[in-house]
Amino acid sequence: MKRKPFNKVLVANRGEIAVRVMRACRELGIETAAIFSDADANAIHRRYADESHHIGAAPPTESYLQLEKIVKLAADVGAEAIHPGYGFLSERPEFPEACAAAGIAYVGPPADAMRAMGSKLEAKRLAGENGVPVTPGSEAIEDVKLAAQTARDIGFPVIVKPSGGGGGIGMKVVERDADLIAAIESCKNAAGAAFGDPTVYVEKYVHNPRHIEFQIIADDKGNVVHLGERECSIQRRHQKIMEETPSPALTAEKRAEMGQAAVRAVRAAGYINAGTVEFIFSEGQFYFLEVNARLQVEHPITEEVTGIDLVKEQLRVAAGQALSFTQSDVSWTGHAIEMRINAEDPVRKFMPNPKRITRWVQPAGPGVRVDSGFGPGSEVPPNYDSLVAKLIVHGADRAEAIARGKRALREFVLVGPATTIPYHQAILESPDFLAGKLSTRFIDDHPDLLIRAKEHLGEVSPFDYGADPRHIAAAAAAVAALTASTQGA
């Protein structure tokens, strides 16, 4: 058996992803150091780690985004590596550079690869030069009139995108020439404010596309492997809320073709460690979208169908070890779905609803996994992403995975904040979802989901004893009896 990759790892994140990384470390015999902000003083990830260190005030800019402070802390506590998780600093090339300068391993891609893939325009150019299909579009927009002519040449509708960021921020779909200039200016302003880079470009908008991504992992020995696709078309405002694997749209032949394209794209960038190559898929054709140079939120469904622990593999690669498997070793069994349980109120336009969790019982049973950094009594802070838990289900096929998803959602007790649980229940009941008729417009095209979600609001989990009137009545009777006996005494 190979030696453990590191003796101690600092996890530069919070919530469920911090706990997920620490679990892998514990199984490998690696000590962990956590960082926490004022808002996370009682968080589970702090208690789970072998040691924890206060990093700053609640705002991310004063805590989880304090790059120099985090790297210095890692050196001070003797951590040999830093795992960035996702979000926060995870896609900033300055992070691996600072780690290298301090003699600390970074559990992620090198800075050069991150820069090459961090610019969507550069990544698109690199992909196209290596035989990966790309959507027709412009270079960085410097001349608005030239951009307008490009849009006319490729045909409306087009989409204006920031080059330096993700999450759908700033993106504008333009249906007609008259709206293009205003959309470009709006996108530039949003990109400059969000990413510090106002560079934008125009490309052809693909109607009713599916969003399909491929998980890859590479070591520094020249081995690059893909672990299959994830269907990520269920999105709200360009933010994924549910993912599944395999995609109902892909044949084995198309999966192999797209997987090979993903491998070519990252190999060209000199990529090392885990990452995700995202594609737009429509009418049997696929087009390169971008590369996420980090571990993805939805990585658990890939783990469920392949049996490969991606975090352990990340740690081994970061320590200079070769991948423990080859492409021919990878196989896929069954079907998996992930539902992001957010502290948001679907009935009130998905308004964030950070509150204290008063009752919590997570679902269990065959094929059910819950990744979370919260539990009973946890405070859901307003300072960060609203993700409370990831509910992952795995079945022998898609039908069984959906049935398990419905069952697990019914069992989940999460009382305090309003959550997206009833909305996920509505999605799993949708005839179009059941038929695999998906696109990135699925949410927009199914406003009836909100009606069905409201119908689920009054339902009570069979595991929620706190909501059972019989138990409430029994508790009240016990209190009354105790009061009476005390008064009698």
Residues with active-site annotation: 294
Tell me which long-range contacts 258-262 makes (C-beta under 8 A, separation of at least 24).
258/212, 258/214, 258/229, 258/286, 259/214, 259/226, 259/228, 259/229, 260/226, 261/127, 261/131, 261/132, 261/133, 261/286, 261/288, 262/132, 262/214, 262/216, 262/226
Distance of alpha carbon 365 from alpha carbon 219, whole angstroms: 36
The alpha carbon of 431 is separated from its chain's Cα centroid by a whole number of angstroms, namely 26
Distance of alpha carbon 455 from alpha carbon 311, whole angstroms: 39
CB atoms within 10 A of CB 237: 12
Distance of CA 136 to CAs 177, 201, 206, Å? 17, 11, 10
Find out whether 366 and 404 touch, Cβ atoms under 8 Å: yes
**How many CA atoms lie within 13 Å of 170's alpha carbon, on the beta-carbon side?**
26
Give the closest residue to 396 by CA, choosing from 366, 419, 375. Answer: 366
Partners of 286 in the beta sheet? 281
Name the one residue in this structure whose structure tokens are 């998996």. 336
CB atoms within 10 A of CB 145: 8
Q: Which helix (H) or strand (E) holds 128?
A: helix 120-129
Partners of 360 in the beta sheet? 414
